[in-house]
Chain A
Amino acid sequence: MSDRHSTESIREELTHRDNLSLTARIAENPEPFVWWAVPMFVLLAVEFATWGGILVGMLDALVIGVTGLIDIVVGFVSPGLAQIVTDFQAGVVGMLRSVGGTLGELPTLFSREVIPNQGHQTPNGAWQGTFLGLQPAVAWALRFSLIMAYALFTAYWAFRGWLVYRDHYRESDWTPTDDIVNNLRGHRWGQFGIIVLVVFLTMATFGSALAPSTVSQNIQSPYSDESQIQYLTEEGTVETVFAGDANFDSKSKGAVDTNVGVMTYDDYGRFHPFGTLPNGRDLFTFMMGGARITMIVSGMAITGAAVVAMTLSMLSAYYSGSLDLGILTVADGVVSVPQLLLLIMMSAVFANTWLGAVLDGGFLLALIFAFTTWPFLWRAVRGPALQVAQEDWVRAAESYGQRPRNIMQKHMLPYVLGYLLVYASMSVGGIIISLSALSFLGNGLGISPPTPAWGRAISAGQSYVSSPSWHISLIPGLMIVLLVTGMNALGDGIRDAIDPEVETGDGEEAAAGGGA
């Protein structure tokens, strides 16, 4: 038996030790799985259209964005190939949109059709068209609380799924993840972060059902045929009006008589939890639309940055030397231009290209943020990665003849991933702030109107801060503060859970968002 053969067999033994697949283990003892899976299935099924819709929407944006990038690159080489890519894109997007359309027609449990809040008063004072004839405010509050409760419970149930897996189906009795989860269970501050994250993800996912009105009816096409609402006139008759016309009479422009404040009705019997914007649109609906684009863009950006930082940190730690120095130079070069300046420069330059149109400019912004954020993440995990690369088990794996790729993935990455998670959740706050800062600056930067963006609401209310219409600037800002604080708390929580001893000092600047 040659040496080479023996290393092969050891490698076989090391990599293929699990003899039963997960399905087989579940089949052996199905009871705990069934007790978890059936409620989970019901939970997902009652909101199937929403979950499917968000999935299709994300695929749609990803396909357009990625094929678009390929299109640009291929276009340099051969215009014919670029045409094929465009056709492919059109085909896939068309298919996805038709699936999305079908999904949109499926009923969901907590939809605005099941618990409607838009109705009108009859001359005798009763409400018609709302859920059980309740006041619109009460009907809206009911739907809002039900959806939030549903989302929080679904998140908890998904976590239960991991517990069931850990207790009944996992092969090893203990993994480092167990300690992290146990530490987090006693960490109130970190839990606050998790709840904030779930709440904002819920806003992004269920935004149209959470709001008293929809983005399309209230903001994007208030004069389409579907955007007609009924209301009780002062003469006691019920009339029909376009949402756009109703918006025109519901403006918040600082004076006492032209203001629809927090938790009030306008003249058309519409309830506004956060009041209205200077152009009469509903601020709560606007905020929910803004939550969606904010979560999508910042999620995509931080994922992109984390993947780049992770790959480069592995490469620079494993190979070190001149590769490390090269990456260091590039990272320092990107960092040396102040982040906000780079953002303004890049989005101003690309704003009018078609790339700026995908996801209303969101895709481009996500790319730019990923580009400006990865050096901070890479710097933060470079140290731990270098330490891991010096460990004995990496040498051991090398001596067994494992490929570099395998060593990085299996023996180095798991130790760096935690740090990456900590810094990613701390930097995402900076991305959220910078994103709203760009929308605030306007001038073609940020998310393009009329798609709602938080920064634009702050900018719209700029001259009404000290007037009855104070809500316009204040509330979006408070939402940003809450989300950013939550993400910082999450980062603190994960950091303490991974290693209660360690204290992060670097990377704080990244969290502050380039001064935005």
Chain B
Amino acid sequence: MSEVKPGWKTLPEGDIVKGGTAAEFKTGDWRSERPVWFPERCIHCMFCWISCPDSSIVVKDGKMTGIDYDHCKGCGICVKECPVKPNKALEMKPEREGSCQR
């Protein structure tokens, strides 16, 4: 079943919609690289969570639990901000690695 979209006579006036619709718009396929999380290195400092412009760091009970790949655009800010040394708890990997690689 394809979605039936409203015509111009029934749409609300002026490109105004309810709040919070960004969650319904999946932007994960915009990525060319993805952040990969290594739980064993993570210190749960929440630097990635507070830096992520797309609210794509999934946190439960104050702990980092993973990445929302449906919305992560692959900007890499979380990797840049991760303070863990010598190896960061987040690393960027090419999106195609391990899938359609030739």
A and B interact: no
